[in-house]
Every structure is written in structure tokens, then in C-alpha cells.
Amino acid sequence: MSIMVNSSKTPTGKAKKGQVTVREDSKSIKACFPRNYCSDGKQIKLATGISMVDGWEAIATKLQRRLQLELEEGKLDDGHGNFNAGRYQEILEEYGLRAKLRVVKGGLPSDDQLPPKPELSLLEVWDMYCEYRKPGLRESMYEKVHRGEYKKYLELAIEATKSEDPLKIRNWLIENRGFRRVKRLLSCLSKAYRLGMKNKLLSHDPYEGMAEEIVNKGAKGKAQEEVEIDDDVLDQSKAYTWDEAQAILDYCKDKCPYWYNFLKFKFLTGCRTGEAIALRWSNVEWDKERVIIAWTYDKITKKFYPLKNDRTYKGEEKRRFPMPKDGELWNLLKSIPEKKPHDVVFESKAGKIINDNTFGNSWRGSQFIRLKGIIPTLIEQDKLTKYLSPYNTRHTFITHAVFDLGIDEKIVSKWCGHHIDVSNKHYQDVAIFAERVNPEVKQQTELDLLKEQLRQQQELINKLLQERDK
């Protein structure tokens, strides 16, 4: 079936006079120029180098628009009334396409397709980009994401597709990895190729526009990755109930007490695992009845890093979590022997910094070391109905605070550091109010407050009536 790509069509489906089309012709994708463009009335059909794979129409549309613009501006005329084959070839190269053209009798170009040949391999382009970004990235982000996760994705995609074809790479990523990660990676790839073009190492960006075309899909039917994404913190299906959280803590207190304090802190504050590991005694402010979340620990680099929430919190680099005196969080931290200000609050069984992998094995279990795991054991005992990752202790606190305790979502957002759209002025008001709210006590709604006021008024009326009747 012939598919035509053009900017304007007549009711019959044919291109209007004077329009360029990029369409299937003789089992290849060709650019077809209008007959009235040449003095002899012959139509020029030229190879484009576009591969006939899924998604070729999008590339063809972009090329058609560019050729139409060049045609209308007279740039495809060599100045002597002849077709400018050299300019056409330059346009193809800009779009990462190559087609070998030869001049035939009469001076018109014909075509013989030449498959695209990249100047650098995909992984070479990625390595170049990583080195360029290294000075401006946090060390953990550079090692864990750019040199680790993203590069592994590319290696797997190349191995699975047996090629470096951009469309095949893109499609494999969408089908096998989460769409958010893929969208970010494709955006970075486009930047990487543009960097190469700027340094005259590459002639085109084959990933141009791919990230913008990605919709909310990807990795259908795949197991959920245990990644730290805050877009779904109010999804109760991804949180344990507060009773289930208590069941987890009861089990830890009895069977693995060395994880009890650490897990309870995570459930009571909703902080991320790295933030809980990095909590220092200097961050516990007894006099102000609050805990400061200011650092995170990265398991890859094994280093501490200050929080960088400037995009979410307008420049603020730490969070203040209320710790009411004699409340659960207060008593939890009081039960732990306090050390020097710079020492971490929570330590491993061996008295060292908690190893995230060791904690993860205790949580989920490990066949390699024949460890059953906290969650699989509780599921087997019918005390839990599903497995959720350690990160979902965060979801559990947030949904408990919002849905069980009735605390305003904006306040919970301020405590936990997940994004919510609030104006700068209003956010400052929330910040001041958040420190006065008790995260362990059910909040009264306006209706509850009205009922309480009416009850108090009725008591006062009854008292006055009793005194009058005396």
C-alpha cells in the first residue's frame, strides 16, 4: 500500500500542484518533486535513505516539510534552472539520511540508496556525552544513572536488536523499560548527538524529537522496577495499610530487632531510604522538637550528599519534620543511645553505616544467601496481601497522613519533599504552618470543629440555665 506524506491534499488524496511528497515508491521511500518544477515536465523521484520500519512516516513528514520550504525559497535550484542535487544531499545528511545520487542524461539526478553509516558508534557518542556532563553532575548521578543505568539500557538494546538503528533502539526501550526513564534517556541521546554536531564529529541527530513523542506507556506486562518515583505517592494500592505497617514492625521487633528502629523511622516520617541512612544526631533538634532531613547516602558511591531540592522547594536544601515531645517519633529516637553530633543515628547490626543492599535482602529475601525475607514471611503468614518495595514505606506514611489522619496534602508534601504545584507565596505559608502540625494525631475537619464549638456552646447554655433555676 502506498502512503503519501505531504502538507496539503486535494479531495482525491493527491498532492496539490507544486507540493513535494515523501512516499513509498518501488519498495523504497522517495521524495517526489512536482512535475512543473522541471522545464521538461518530468517528475523527479529521489531516494531518501529512510528505512521502511515502524515509525518511518514521522521522519518522512519532517523531511517533506523541509524540502517544501527549500523548494519554495528556491534553494533547490542551482541558479541555472537545474535541480540542486548537492543541496538535496546536504538536507538528507542533516536528517541522518544518506542516498547516493548520480547525474543521468539531461542533467537530472537519479538514485542508488546507500545505507546510513554513523561517524561514531552509539556507545561512543554516549561516553562522549557522559564525560561532557560529568563536571556538572552529582557524583552519584553520574555513576549510578548516566554511566550505570542508562548505559546498560543502551547495551541491552543494541544486543537485543543486533543493530544501532535509532528506531529499533527506541522501540526496544519503550517495550522493555519504564516510559519515564526512556523519555529522559532519549532526550539525553538527542543532546549527545547535538553535542557531536557542534564539535563537527557528527552530521545529524537521529534522536531528534523522539523524547517528545513518547506517551505514558512502556514496559507493559513487566515487573515493576524498584525505582524511587514520587509521581504516585497518593496511590493507596502502592502503600501498606497502617495495620500492615504495624505488623511489619512487630515482626522486626521480635525476629530482627536491628531493623526495627530504622524501619519505624521510615514509616513515621516517609523519608527515603538514603535519607534515613544519612540521618545524623546533629539533625535531631530536641529543643525545637523537630528532625532535619538534610543529607542522603548513596549506595553506589558510598558517600553522603546534601539534599538538592531547589527545583521543588525554590532553593531550600533541607526539610523540617515535626517531632512532638513524648510522641512516637520522639520516644523512638530517645530509645537510641545518642552519640557524637556527626555520627549517624541508625547503624547496622555490626555498628556500621547501613548497607542498602543488606537491608533490601532482609526486606525481600535472597535465594543466594537462603534468606526468607521479612515481607515474604508475613505474606506466607497471611499478615500481608502483597509485596511492595522498601521505598513504599514512604507511600505508606503519606497515604496514612492524608487519608487516615486528614492532614492537608500540601503539608505532607512539605514534610516529605515530593512535588506539588503551589504558588511561592502560598508555599511559604504552608512551610510555617507545617511545623505546628502533629504528624501523629488525626486532624479535625472544619465540620468537626463546628460540632465541637456547638457542643461547647450547648454546655454553656445548660450551665446558665441551671444557675438561673437555682
Give, as one character, the DSSP assignment of residue 352: S
Domains of the chain, by residue range, sit at 4-113, 122-213, 236-434, 446-470
Q: Whats the size of the chain, residue-wise?
A: 470
What single letter denotes the amino acid at residue 11? Answer: P
Least confident segment among 18-22, 35-39, 195-199: 35-39
Average pLDDT, the chain: 79
Q: In terms of DSSP bridges, do strands 290-293 and 319-322 run parallel, antiparallel, or are they unpaired?
A: antiparallel
- State the number of CA atoms in the 13 A half-sphere of 438 facing the CB: 11
Give the other-Cβ count within 10 Å of 115's Cβ.
Answer: 8
Q: Specify the 3-state DSSP secondary structure of 9.
A: strand
Q: Specify the 3-state DSSP secondary structure of 303.
A: strand
Between these two residues, 459 and 424, which has the higher pLDDT value?
A: 459
Of the pLDDT bands very low, low, confident and very high (cuts 50, 70, 90), residue 370 is confident
Q: What is the mean pLDDT of residues 422-443?
A: 61
CA distance 359 to 260: 11
What single letter denotes the amino acid at residue 18? Answer: G
pLDDT, tens digit (0-9, with 9 covering 90-100), for 91-102: 888 877 766 555
CA 114: distance to chain centroid? 38
CA distance 439 to 411: 10
- Predicted TM-score (pTM) of the model is 0.52
Longest dimension (CA), the chain: 124
Between these two residues, 164 and 44, which has the higher pLDDT value?
A: 164
Give the other-Cβ count within 10 Å of 209's Cβ.
Answer: 12
* Cell numbers linked to 38: 522541471
Give the other-Cβ count within 10 Å of 352's Cβ.
Answer: 9
pLDDT, tens digit (0-9, with 9 covering 90-100), for 37-85: 655 566 788 888 887 776 788 888 888 988 888 888 888 877 767 777 7
CA distance 126 to 116: 19
Domain 236-434: which CATH number of 1.10.443.10, 3.90.50.10, 1.10.10.10, 3.20.20.105: 1.10.443.10
